[in-house]
Structure formats: structure tokens, C-alpha cells
Structure 1
Amino acid sequence: MSTDRPIVLFDLFGVIARHQRPGAMDAMAALSGGAPTDAYDAAYWACRQPYDAGLFSASQYWTAVLDQLSLPAHPEIIEKLRLADIDSWSRVDDRMVAYVRSLRDVAEVALLSNIPVDHADAFLAAQPWLRHLDHVAFSGKIHAAKPDTAAFHHCIAALHADPADFLFVDDRDENVRAARSLGMNGHVFIGRDELAAALDTWLPAR
């Protein structure tokens, strides 16, 4: 079933929110017990997908990271790493937030983000404007992380829409390709001005 209004489906990090805070990996590597930053970075990302998809709890994720580094997974170290990680992803682009909110005058606006459950809860608490969007889908809560097409199917079903009703906006090309494979329109985000031009073209054509 198609909606009466177009839907702009946004990624979060790299579009509305900032990428990870500079220096965060160095700081977390030190908190881990002295792992070299490059080794810590590799372990952090190697274990991330099941955490993003809600298949690992925070404790399971950090234990896996520390095990890969052959470091002890003491609960106090895990908690320090967890809080430092959440903080490192906490920044938003205020101009993009205002722009996204303004689009609700002309379209439904939704969010699809790869983010673990505890990060999602912290982000929602710090950014209450998210609750006013038409739908918010966090990978850890829906148990599917982009580019898994199940994440996009969730949004299609939740908004009672057809894929063609969507313009999906993400800064990662592989995620936009996955959305397009289902029949969604897609835009690789490089900046607000380019996005505004793409929306000006897409919206009147519907």
C-alpha cells in the first residue's frame, strides 16, 4: 500500500549526526588496558556487526573485543569502554537536525540507523526531537543492520508504504545500493546543499 506522502528515510551517522569523535579510538585503546590503537581499532570493528544488529549485548560485545586483544574483560573496564564509546558517537550537526525537521512540512521523515541498543537509548534521551519523526528504526532494536535488506523491509512495513515512496539518504554507497535493490530511490549524502537539490528534483516528480 502506498502512502499519500513521500518518505525521506535518513541514515544517522555521517548525515544528521557526526562520525565518531576524533581521538576516540586512542582514548578507548588506553582504557582497554594498553592495546595499541591499530589493534584496538581492528578488534572494535571486527566484532561490531552483531552488536549493531542486537545479537550481542554490550557486555558480550566488549568481552569479544577484549578477548580478541587478549586482555581481561573486567566489568569496570567494560563499563568505562561502553560509556566512552557512547560519548564518542554523541555529536549531531545542528544545521542538519533543523533541516531534517523542516522537511516534515513536505514529506514524512524517518530514520534508519546502525546503532546498538544501549547507544540508541542514550541517543534518544539526548535528542528528544527524534521522537517526533514519523518512524525511527535502530538496528539493535529491529535486529537488522544495513546493508542487510531486512532493515529496509522493516521500514517499508512500519510505514505501510511501497519502496518507490522512499528516498533513502546515507553517506555509504553500499547502503544506498541495498535500498535501490528493493526499489527505493537513493541519494549518497555528501552535504546538505546537494541533498536539498536532490530533494527539490525528487519531490515535485512524485
Structure 2
Amino acid sequence: MSTDHRRIVLFDLFGVIARHQRPGALEKMAARCHTSTEAFTTAYWIHRPPYDAGRQTASAYWTDVLHALSRPADADTVDELRLTDIDSWSRVDDRMVTYVRDLRNRARVALLSNIPADHADVFLTAQPWLHDLDHLAFSGRIGAAKPDPAAFRHCVVALRATPAEFLFVDDREENVRAARAVGMDGHVFRSQDDLGPVIDAWLPTPVERSG
């Protein structure tokens, strides 16, 4: 077990610390494919799970999306879509970033995100503060995506802890239910203002030292 016995707050990334996909991004990629936004969105998400979980390369994913739309999967189109997609998931909530960084004074802080490996590489370069966290679990690197129990168990093993030492914070209820099923506490994120009191109540009260 770890010698650091502080409790662990395990954060989701998108919809909690980072913003959801940039508005208009799917429409932009659909236009590049000369197809409707509805058809593109369906193909984009149906083929996403293996890419998120690291079982498929970016090139293979975009080839599948384009073939589903009956479009040619030439290298230039694939690369343009890949880069547009990465950029569409690049925004963070600066207020939440500050909160998460400050929280490390009171708890261990880790991240569990459904994100393809190539997206993660770019995100890490743009957001170097992530390297200060106690653990980063990106689905495309660990081979498991939420709500798969294996994603949560990876974090338990990596942090040499027990599930009961974790509070998992995610904006999707199905992911929070999955975390609870493996023994973690869980909180469905709605806002930082709602989250703060939950974490304050969950973390043990510091013991004051006598002078």
C-alpha cells in the first residue's frame, strides 16, 4: 500500500475540469465530409468506443467513420478530421483547474478520462499542470474506458489504495454508478459550487497540533 494515506479524489476530465466539445465542431467536421450533421454525429459516436479505449488507432477510427458515411478515407481528410477533433476537446475551465490544483494540499488527486491516446498527448502538452497530479489514467493508454470496471480498478492498483479511499467525480451518472459498484464513493458533478461542500464533508477534518 502507499505510504501516503490521504484520501483520493478521482476526477473525470471533460464536463468537469475541461469543457465539453467545442460548439459547432461536429457541424464543421460534417461539412468537411459533405454530409449532414446528424449522419456524421451518428458515425462519430458509434465508432468511438474502441478508439477511446486504445483498441484502435486514430487512422482506423476515422477510416471507419468515413466508410460509414460512404466517403473516401484519404490521408489528408483523415488528418484534417483528427486535428479538428483534437482541437474541439481542448478547452478547460480555469476556475476548476485552480480548484483541483489547490485540492492537492488536502488530498491525493487523480484523473480518469475517456480520451484517445493521441488526444491525451496533445492535452498533456497544452496543460502541463496535469503532470503535478498523483496519477493520470487516460482510457486510450490504459486500455479501458468508463464505465468499464477495469478503468476504476486500474486507478486503485496504480495508487496502491483501496476503493473506499476514493471519491470519484464525473458529470455522467452511469460512470458514477460504475465507480460505486467497485466500492468507491461517487458524486455526480453539476458545478464547482456544489462540489466544494461535498469534498469538504468527505475529507477528514485536519487534526490541529498543540503548540
Q: Counterpart of 1:23 in structure 2: which amino acid?
A: G
Structure 1: gaps of 5 or more residues? none
Q: Within 5 A, what are the aligned runs for 1:118-129?
A: 118-129=118-129
Q: Render the CA deviation track for 1:68-105: whole Å, top value 9, x for unaligned.
A: 11110010000000000000000000000000000000
Distance 1:63 1:131 in 2: 32
For residue 205 of structure 1, report the CA deviation from its aligned partner.
6.9
Q: Within 5 A, what are the aligned runs for 1:1-206?
A: 1=1, 3-32=4-33, 34-204=34-204
For residue 138 of structure 1, report the CA deviation from its aligned partner.
0.2
Distance 1:134 1:4 in 2: 13
Distance 2:75 2:23 in 1: 26
For residue 204 of structure 1, report the CA deviation from its aligned partner.
2.5
Question: How many residues are matched?
Answer: 205
TM-score by length of 1: 0.98
Q: Render the CA deviation track for 1:128-160: whole Å, top value 9, x for unaligned.
A: 000010000100000000000000000000000
For residue 39 of structure 1, report the CA deviation from its aligned partner.
0.1
C-alpha spacing 1:205/1:177, structure 2 compared with 1 (3 Å) = farther
Q: Percent identity?
A: 66
Distance 2:143 2:35 in 1: 30
Distance 1:46 1:93 in 2: 28
Q: Counterpart of 1:26 in structure 2: which amino acid?
A: E
Distance 2:150 2:131 in 1: 22
Q: Counterpart of 1:124 in structure 2: which amino acid?
A: L
Q: Counterpart of 2:9 in structure 1: which amino acid?
A: V
Q: Counterpart of 1:193 in structure 2: which amino acid?
A: D
For residue 30 of structure 1, report the CA deviation from its aligned partner.
1.1
Q: Counterpart of 2:31 in structure 1: which amino acid?
A: A
Partner SS, residue 164 of structure 2: helix
For residue 201 of structure 1, report the CA deviation from its aligned partner.
0.9
User: Which of the pair has more CA radius of gyration?
Assistant: 2
CA RMSD of aligned residues (A): 1.1
Distance 1:135 1:184 in 2: 16
Distance 2:29 2:126 in 1: 22
Which 4+ residue blocks in structure 1 deviate beyond 2 angstroms? none
Structure 2: gaps of 5 or more residues? 207-211
Distance 2:68 2:161 in 1: 42
Q: Render the CA deviation track for 1:14-66: whole Å, top value 9, x for unaligned.
A: 0000000000011000112x011000000000000000000110000000000
